[in-house]
Amino acid sequence: MPRALSMQRTVVPPDDRAKFLERVSARAAHYTDAGCQYWLFEEAALPGAFIEFTEARDAATLKEAHASATEPPIDPARIYAQVDLS
Protein backbone atom coordinates (compact mmCIF):
# COMPACT_ATOMS: atom_id res chain seq x y z
CA MET A 1 0.00 0.00 0.00
CA PRO A 2 1.43 3.44 -0.91
CA ARG A 3 2.42 6.05 1.64
CA ALA A 4 -0.11 8.85 2.15
CA LEU A 5 0.34 12.60 2.57
CA SER A 6 -1.87 15.57 3.36
CA MET A 7 -1.06 19.27 3.22
CA GLN A 8 -2.59 22.39 4.67
CA ARG A 9 -1.63 26.00 4.10
CA THR A 10 -2.27 28.61 6.79
CA VAL A 11 -1.49 32.31 6.93
CA VAL A 12 -1.03 33.60 10.48
CA PRO A 13 -0.99 37.29 11.46
CA PRO A 14 2.14 38.30 13.41
CA ASP A 15 0.17 38.80 16.64
CA ASP A 16 -1.16 35.22 16.46
CA ARG A 17 2.16 33.51 15.70
CA ALA A 18 3.03 32.35 19.24
CA LYS A 19 -0.43 30.89 19.82
CA PHE A 20 -0.35 29.17 16.41
CA LEU A 21 3.03 27.58 17.14
CA GLU A 22 1.70 26.27 20.48
CA ARG A 23 -1.25 24.65 18.70
CA VAL A 24 1.03 23.21 16.04
CA SER A 25 3.28 21.67 18.73
CA ALA A 26 0.26 19.85 20.13
CA ARG A 27 -0.79 18.83 16.62
CA ALA A 28 2.69 17.45 15.89
CA ALA A 29 2.57 15.38 19.08
CA HIS A 30 -0.84 13.99 18.14
CA TYR A 31 0.31 12.90 14.69
CA THR A 32 3.54 11.41 16.01
CA ASP A 33 1.54 9.41 18.57
CA ALA A 34 -0.77 8.27 15.75
CA GLY A 35 2.17 6.82 13.79
CA CYS A 36 2.56 9.70 11.34
CA GLN A 37 5.31 12.12 10.41
CA TYR A 38 4.51 15.83 10.72
CA TRP A 39 6.39 18.81 9.30
CA LEU A 40 5.77 22.54 9.40
CA PHE A 41 7.42 24.90 6.92
CA GLU A 42 7.24 28.69 6.72
CA GLU A 43 7.54 30.50 3.42
CA ALA A 44 10.93 32.26 3.37
CA ALA A 45 9.66 35.38 1.58
CA LEU A 46 6.37 35.63 3.49
CA PRO A 47 6.64 35.27 7.27
CA GLY A 48 3.46 33.82 8.72
CA ALA A 49 2.63 31.75 5.64
CA PHE A 50 2.90 28.13 6.75
CA ILE A 51 2.39 24.79 5.09
CA GLU A 52 1.88 21.64 7.14
CA PHE A 53 2.62 18.14 5.86
CA THR A 54 1.36 14.99 7.52
CA GLU A 55 2.56 11.63 6.20
CA ALA A 56 1.64 8.06 7.11
CA ARG A 57 2.50 4.56 5.92
CA ASP A 58 -0.96 4.31 4.29
CA ALA A 59 -4.17 6.27 3.75
CA ALA A 60 -6.07 4.41 6.48
CA THR A 61 -3.54 5.46 9.13
CA LEU A 62 -3.66 9.07 7.97
CA LYS A 63 -7.48 9.14 7.85
CA GLU A 64 -7.65 7.73 11.37
CA ALA A 65 -5.13 10.30 12.64
CA HIS A 66 -7.12 13.14 11.06
CA ALA A 67 -10.39 11.82 12.51
CA SER A 68 -8.99 11.71 16.04
CA ALA A 69 -7.25 15.12 15.88
CA THR A 70 -8.59 17.90 18.08
CA GLU A 71 -7.97 20.27 15.14
CA PRO A 72 -8.38 18.18 11.97
CA PRO A 73 -7.29 19.70 8.67
CA ILE A 74 -9.77 21.86 6.77
CA ASP A 75 -10.23 19.10 4.17
CA PRO A 76 -9.31 15.78 5.85
CA ALA A 77 -10.46 13.79 2.81
CA ARG A 78 -7.80 15.36 0.59
CA ILE A 79 -5.08 12.72 0.85
CA TYR A 80 -2.34 12.13 -1.69
CA ALA A 81 -0.99 8.63 -2.41
CA GLN A 82 2.67 8.09 -3.22
CA VAL A 83 3.28 7.22 -6.87
CA ASP A 84 5.68 4.39 -7.67
CA LEU A 85 8.08 5.66 -10.36
CA SER A 86 9.94 2.42 -10.94
Residue 43 lies in a domain: yes
Domain coverage including residue 26: 4-81
Q: What mean pLDDT is predicted for residues 38-46?
A: 97
Specify the number of domains making up the chain. 1
Left, alpha or beta for 23 (phi > 0: left; psi -120 to 50: alpha)?
A: alpha
> 8 - beta bridge partners?
52
Please state the pTM of the whole predicted model. 0.90
Give Cα separations from 28 to 19, 32, 35, 45, 54 (angstroms).
14, 6, 11, 24, 9
Q: Residue 36: which CATH number?
A: 3.30.70.100
Q: What is the pLDDT of residues 28-38, one digit of tens each?
A: 999 999 999 99
Q: What is the pLDDT of residues 12-28, one digit of tens each?
A: 999 999 999 999 999 99
